[in-house]
Amino acid sequence: MKDQQDNKKTTFVLLFTIFIDGLGIGIIFPILTPLILHSHFSFFGPNISSSYRATILTLIFSAYPIGMFFGAPLLGTLSDKIGRKKTLLVSVGGDIIGFFILSLGIGLFSIPIILISRLISGITAGSMPVAQAAIVDMSKTEKQRSVYLGYISLSYGLGFTFGPLLGSFAGNEKYLILLITPLLLAAIICLVNFTLLFYVFNDTSKTNPSVKINAVTGINNLMYALKSKSLSGLFIVLFILLFGQFTFYQYLPIYLNENFQDNSLIIGLVLGFYAFNFSIGLVYFLPKLLKLISIRKLAYFSLITLSAAVAIFSIDKSIAEMLIPLFFIPICLGFAYVSLITSLSLNAKSNEQGQIMGTASALTSLAWAASPFLIKFSLSHASINLVYFCSIIFFLGVIILMLRRIITQQEK
């Protein structure tokens, strides 16, 4: 009985940690997008071109995932070495510091300080892979593992829902203190999370002091994963999925900003709607689908539907018509992500879960860091339909999965 209560407390703290992770990322877009592109608090003079502003925004959006690329796999491997609890405390502590420095950067109108804050937050952004590894530690069956990983994605999605909404109500304020208030609130919530982790969370794994860690752990893990016959195809499809996802998601606030004249409230509400549907898909539809189809079939179904929904969104439409594909896109993204992460976990050894999840997170950050540069390129070349390009990317994932299936059957 006591073990069940401890597991419930541990699960709650893990999910709350992931919620804060999603909130911290989601809160950034409705604040920084209009702040850099069109804002009462301009960081630039009136003669600065929109292209230069877009370049700065690209660098800011890329700083977090670049830091995450090196930090997340290191923290994932560190969690195998010293335990999940200590590693999560390091991660959440970095979030607290990052939010305070970001608030300072906005208050001082300093782009370098903002970039430093995003790098710090990115380097210590290891809570998702570590929490995934902790969930795997507690999972006893494949279905339970899928449902638990779905709960993690749900918590992340709820954070994504609340984050943009919180940021949107500050984005149009004319007083600087109100603009940075959401960031300071996020730092305080992270401090609460840190306290819960310290006093309530029970470690879910045994430490493995023999695990080696170095500064290029992320690169080494990627090389290991890509050389593995059972994992390489799944990692490639995961990268394709995430590259398309981050390209679409990070372009969406820019698209809304251009079409709705610096309206942070609309940006936040649409992003909140997007994230809410992501959460609904995981908490309501995913458990039902897992009773009907296998993980492999779920991956095919979600990627095909996702590609079609994004293609429909690429057609110019009103805000009301836009909401229809925005209902299906995040739901299918959640399905595809959970199915691929579950497949990776099932193909990994029990003592490599932290390493594999850290590697998956590094691949996530690589896709995230690359997508703003594609967005910047498309903004400089008006002939490129970026949304339609995302649809093609998702369908490419389907083709690779099919080829992987054929090759695997031939080898058998």
pLDDT tens-digit readout, 99-124: 999 999 988 888 999 999 999 998 88
C-alpha closest to that of 168 among 284, 19, 33: 33
Closest CA to 84 of 132, 152, 22: 132
pLDDT greater than 60 at residue 406: no
Amino acid at residue number 229: K
* Residue 88 lies inside a defined structural domain of this protein: yes
State the average pLDDT over residues 90-94. Answer: 91
Q: Can you read off the two tokens belonging to residue 380? A: 């400089």
Residue whose token pair is 């709350």: 16
Angle, helix 2-26 to helix 84-107, in steps of 10 degrees: 30
Residue that has been written with the tokens 């006093």 in this structure:
199
Q: How remote is the C-alpha of 368 from its chain's centroid?
A: 8
Q: Does the residue 137 lie in any domain?
A: yes
Residue 137 predicted with pLDDT over 90: no
Q: What is the distance in angstroms between the CA of the first residue and the CA of the last residue of the chain? A: 45
Mean pLDDT of the chain: 79
Asked if residue 267 belongs to a domain, the reply is yes
pLDDT at 203: 73
pLDDT of residue 104: 92
Q: What average pLDDT does range 338-362 have in this prediction?
A: 74
Residue 83, Cα to own-chain centre: how many angstroms? 23
Would residue 333 count as lying in a domain?
yes
Structural domain contains residue 40: yes
Task: Inform me whether the pLDDT recorded for 84 exceeds 90.
Answer: no
Coil/strand/helix, residue 139? coil
Per-residue pLDDT at 409? 54
Nearest Cα neighbor of 278 from 158, 382, 366, 168 is 158
Is the model's pLDDT at 133 over the cut of 80?
A: no
What percent of the chain is predicted at pLDDT more than 70?
Answer: 77
Residue-level pLDDT at 47: 75
Residue 220 included in any domain: yes
Angle between helices 84-107 and 111-123 (to 10 degrees): 170
8 versus 196: the higher-pLDDT residue is 196
The first and second tokens of residue 306, run together, are 């996702």
Contacts of 138 (CB under 8 A, 6+ apart): 7, 10, 11, 148, 204
Contact 94, 124 (CB under 8 A): yes
Please tell me the total count of domains within the chain.
Answer: 1
Hey, is 46 helix, strand or coil?
coil
Q: Which residues contact 293 (CB under 8 A, 6 or more apart)?
A: 301
What number is the average pLDDT over the span 208-215? 66
Q: What is the pLDDT of residue 263?
A: 61
Residue range of the domain that includes 376: 2-203+214-411
Lowest-pLDDT choice from 90-104, 162-176, 285-299, 368-382: 162-176
Q: Is 350 exposed, middle or buried (0-12, 13-18, 19+ CB in 10 A)?
A: exposed
Helix residue ranges, H only, 172-231: 176-199, 217-227
**Residue holding tokens 């993690």?**
152
What are the tokens at 128?
Answer: 């998702």
Task: Average the pLDDT over 331-337 and give the result.
Answer: 90
CATH number of residue 374's parent domain:
1.20.1250.20
Q: Is residue 208 part of a domain?
A: no
Inside any domain, residue 209 = no
